[in-house]
Structure 1
Amino acid sequence: MRNEQEMMKKLIDFAKNDDRIRLVTLEGSRTNPNIPPDPFQDYDLSYFVTDMDSFKENDQWLQVFGKPVMMQKPEDMELFPPELGNWYSYLILFEDWNKLDLTLIPVHEANDYFTHSDGLVQVLLDKDNLVKHEVIANDHQYWIKKPTAREFDDCCNEFWMVSTYVVKGLGRKEILFAIDHLNEIARPNLLRMMAWNIGSEQGYHFSVGKNYKFINRYLPDADWEKLLSTYVENGYEEMWQSLFTCYELFRNYSKAVSESFGYKYPDYDEVITKYTKSIYRN
């Protein structure tokens, strides 16, 4: 696998030698000083260009970065409609297993890019002095934030209401329906509540990572093990127990958050727990 210095040199040298490319930025985890580097990190780059169509005519120019073994062009797919407007992206896995996520952006949209940036941006090349302000990469946008009373109640409401869909799926013997609602909606709100409690105890100057991937660093070992046990979903009884453990964890953490911030603890818990147990017994 080529190292970071080799990859970055190739990506920047190409941009330096191509007059169509006026500005180059690096995004994502490689700009974040709080993320330890590892060989699995993508190279997330953007080229701001004067002529999009000339790049899109064919993909041969990408060969300069290495031999692709897999490539996806999200803006050229039918099943998954594009979401980037005038931008065009290439997701490339090379034969040495480096992965490049390269986005082409019309150069006149540079201001919009920086306006809507998540903060994890580093300017690598600026041929025309387009960037008039200092850009310092930071992950502040992803730091834990103190919830308002309404946000707290909304989270509780969503968790307990969506749990009824999990129950319904299990009651009907529709396990994939139940798994989907637990994984996609209910558990993410449990993780959100856990993060809020971590913030209340340790402050709001850090992130627990994308998809809460670092949350185990801040949880008691027993709670981390309980959380992991909720991912056991290979049968109906296993799903019921995962759901009940989610209830237990959400109850404990939401009560802690309500006490910490002086927010009213809602009565959703009592009602939905009673409902769930009545269906489970049948």
Structure 2
Amino acid sequence: MLAAYLKGSRTNPNVSKDIYQDYDIMYVVKETESFRKDLSWLDIFGRVILKQEQDDDFGYGDRFGLRSHYEETYSWLLLFEDGNRLDIGVETVEAMRKGSHRNKLFLPLLDKADCLPKLPPPTDEDFHVKKPAERKFHGCCNEFFWSLCDVTKGILRDELPFAMTTYYTQAHHMMEVMLEWYIGSMTDYSVSCGKLNKYFKRYLPGITSMTF
């Protein structure tokens, strides 16, 4: 191991700390193959009761299009019996220098090879709401109302799985996009709504958990 850095919410000064936060750690290494072939090195962290890795079907590798280039970087999501969760990965120096999957939530932990970049303190500005172009705004409105036609059709045909999936993946999604832009307009596009808009309640007065 040449270096290690922390990423994710634990580096974000705008995130309230709690016991549910994951530890997102990346190790910089000479090669990834030995780490992928023999997982015994993970045992030092504790007893794993649930594990997902980058090459699992239907896993995060599928969701984020990461099922390739394992010789450059590879990672595991680990849940331990004590309740802690560790998202841990290995990447080569070359991959780290490319920084393809790195954002500004970056905090060096160890740098034995003096290979980590010298970056400013961690910030979530990469995830701030972006101001939409007029065309995008109108497209969002159009998709919201258009998809509701299919929702209505599904309800009237008593095809509720179709109706509900259409609502949550299309109409509801467009509503959340519009709310992101509303929050952005009220904050001069200087905040992040968080992963899957988990901070809506923080920025929308009067909103309750049951609203969505």
TM-score bin (small chain): 0.7 to 0.9
Unaligned runs of 5+ in 2: none
Any conservation in 2 of the 1:69–1:94 contact (CA below 8 Å)?
yes
The answer as to 2:126 corresponding to 1:144 is no
1:94-134 deviation digits (Å, cap 9, x = unpaired):
11110011111122211122x54232111211222213432
Residues 46-98 of structure 1: per-residue CA shift (max 9 Å, x gap): 111113121122221111011111112232x2455653332211111111110
What code does the residue aligned with 1:38 have? D
Shift of 1:220: 3.7
The structure whose RCO (Cα within 8 Å, separation 6+) is larger is 2
Is the contact made by 1:23 and 1:107 (CA closer than 8 Å) also made in structure 2? no
* In 1: Cα distance, 2:187 partner to 2:57 partner: 45
Question: CA contact under 8 A between 1:30 and 1:43: conserved in structure 2?
Answer: yes
CA displacement 1:171-200 (0-9 Å, x = unmatched) = 221111111111122112112212212222
> SS of 2:190's equivalent?
coil
Aligned CA distance change for structure 1 residues 78 and 213 (closer, same or farther; 3 Å): closer
Partner of 1:179: 164
Structure 1 unaligned spans of 5+: 1-20, 232-282
Q: Figure out how many residues of one structure are paired with residues of the other and give that number.
A: 205
Correspondent of 2:48 among 68, 86, 93: 68
Q: Which has the higher strand share?
A: 2
The TM-score normalised by the length of structure 1 is 0.67
Partners of 1:215 and 1:72 in 2: CA distance: 28
Larger helix fraction of residues: 1
**Kept after mapping to 2: 8 A contact 1:69/1:93:** yes
Q: TM-score, normalised by structure 2?
A: 0.87
Alpha-carbon distance between aligned partners in 1 of 2:201 and 2:57, rounded to the nearest angstrom: 38
SS of equivalent residue, structure 2 residue 88: strand
Answer yes or no: is the 8 Å Cα contact 2:93–2:115 preserved in 1. no
AA in 2 matched with 1:152:
F
User: Is the 1:73–1:90 contact (alpha carbons within 8 Å) kept by the matching residues of 2?
Assistant: yes
- Which of these two proteins has the greater Rg computed from alpha carbons? 1
When the two chains are superposed, the root-mean-square deviation of aligned CA atoms in Å is: 2.0
Letter in 2 for 1:30: R
